Structure 1
Amino acid sequence: MGERLRVSTDDLHQVGTGLRTIATEFEGLDKLMDSYDRRTVGHDKLFERIQEFSDDWDDNRNQMIKDIEGLGTLAKEASKAYKELDTALYQALVGKGKKK
């Protein structure tokens, strides 16, 4: 029973921002894959494998972007909620909360 919940709201907010950055990087990967052609790769079979991977990646990448963005939003919202809760608890402890 002696355990405490400790949350770094700054870290949570930073995680949310970092996840958005990751999602943005994933969004730009399709342009990188499009920049490769048979001549750049230099081998037909290798180029075909890269194209195969790229096509499969496109299918899954969009869902991953949505999921990562969702996690980032949740982290930022959790940070805000913990800050609000902490403020409300402090105000209740020092008698500054709403009185009925």
Structure 2
Amino acid sequence: MSEKLKVSTDDLHSAGTGLRTVATELEGLDKLMDAYDLRTVGHQKLHERLQDFSDGWDDNRKKMIEEIQGLGTLAHEAGKAYKQIDTELYNALVGKEKK
């Protein structure tokens, strides 16, 4: 049984870049939450709830950022590897030597 593998290295590269951008944006949320003080929110209980959510979210957000950055790096590196393999296969088929 013969199946064809098709990989868009451009898509992998774009996915890697996009995932790393998402991770960077998530890192920036910490500063955004710090901007919401009691005066901005206007209600003590709401401010306390936002602070509780922010504190609990910090641990989860850090883990998500690490995972997303890892996926971004993997996608980017996979794109580079597929491109290199494709180039080397082409060169081997047409008889070009490695430089």
Residue aligning to 1:7: 7
| Cα displacement string for residues 47-90 of structure 1 (whole angstroms, at most 9, x for unaligned residues) | 11101110011111111111111111101110010001101111
TM-score by length of 2: 0.91
Secondary structure at 2:33's aligned position in 1? helix
Q: Name structure 2 gaps, 5 residues minimum.
A: none
CA RMSD of aligned residues (A): 1.3
Give aligned pairs, total: 98
Q: Does 1:58 align with 2:58?
A: yes
Identity of aligned residues (%): 73
In structure 1, distance between residues paired with 2:36 and 2:92: 61
Tell me how far apart the structure 1 counterparts of residues 67 and 42 of structure 2 sit (CA, whole Å): 35
Q: Which runs of 5+ in 1 are unaligned?
A: none
Aligned to 2:26: 26
Q: Does the residue aligned with 1:4 lie in a helix, a strand or coil? A: coil
Distance in 2 between the 1:37 and 1:91 partners? 61
Q: Deviations over 1:14-65 (max 9, x none)?
A: 1111111111101110110001111211122111110111001111111111
Matched, 1:67 2:43: no
The aligned residue for residue 94 of structure 1 is 94
Find the aligned partners of 2:90 and 2:32 in 1 and give their Cα distance: 50
Contact 1:88–1:97 (8 Å) recurs in 2: no
Relative to the length of structure 1, the TM-score reads: 0.90
The whole-number CA distance in structure 1 between the counterparts of 2:91 and 2:7 is 19
Q: 2: distance between equivalents of 1:51 and 1:5?
A: 49
